[in-house]
Amino acid sequence: MTRAIETTDIISKHLPGVCKVSTDLLREGAPIEPDPPVSHWKPEAVQYYEDGARIEAAFRNYIHRADAKQQEDSYEIFICHANVIRYIVCRALQFPPEGWLRLSLNNGSITHLVVRPDGRVALRALGDTGFMPPDKISRS
């Protein structure tokens, strides 16, 4: 997770009062076998079971409604890799999670997901790289 750690360090310099927490739940992996299958990426079947359970645990642990008593908006920043982001977006929007690989994200992009206290979810941005110079935009 070298890139994610480097990105965290850069962002933290601009958000000095924000607490950093590291977790293996958000580590890159193979969340679920994609449908339709793809020929360019085929991890071992066991990887889906190991990684999938961990990434699903991350979704259940971190993506949830705010407490109904909460008066002000709150924000959490997750710095992780594309497979985890794509899976979490599919799950949060109640799309079939097997479709995660149909979404494409550039490295270093920003995805903005909103979860309201009533449970409504909105995707404000997916893979936004408009803040980057074009020559710095890349994809794995």
70-79 pLDDT, tens digit each: 888 888 999 9
Alpha helices in the chain (DSSP H): 2-14, 45-62, 82-92
Residue 44 included in any domain: yes
pLDDT digits (tens, 9 = 90+) for 1-13: 788 888 889 999 9
Please report whether residue 122 resides in a domain. Answer: no
User: How many structural domains does the chain have?
Assistant: 1
CATH of the domain at 95: 3.40.50.1240
Q: Is 94 left (phi over 0), alpha (psi -120 to 50) or beta?
A: left
In a domain, 127, yes or no: no
pLDDT above 80 (res 18): yes
Residue 36's domain spans which residues?
2-104
Asked if residue 89 is part of any domain, the answer here is: yes
pLDDT digit string, tens, across residues 64-111: 988 888 888 888 999 999 999 999 999 999 999 999 999 999 999 999
Query: What is the CA 20 to chain-centroid distance, rounded?
Result: 16
Instruction: Give the tokens for residue 45.
Output: 């079947």
116 located within any domain = no
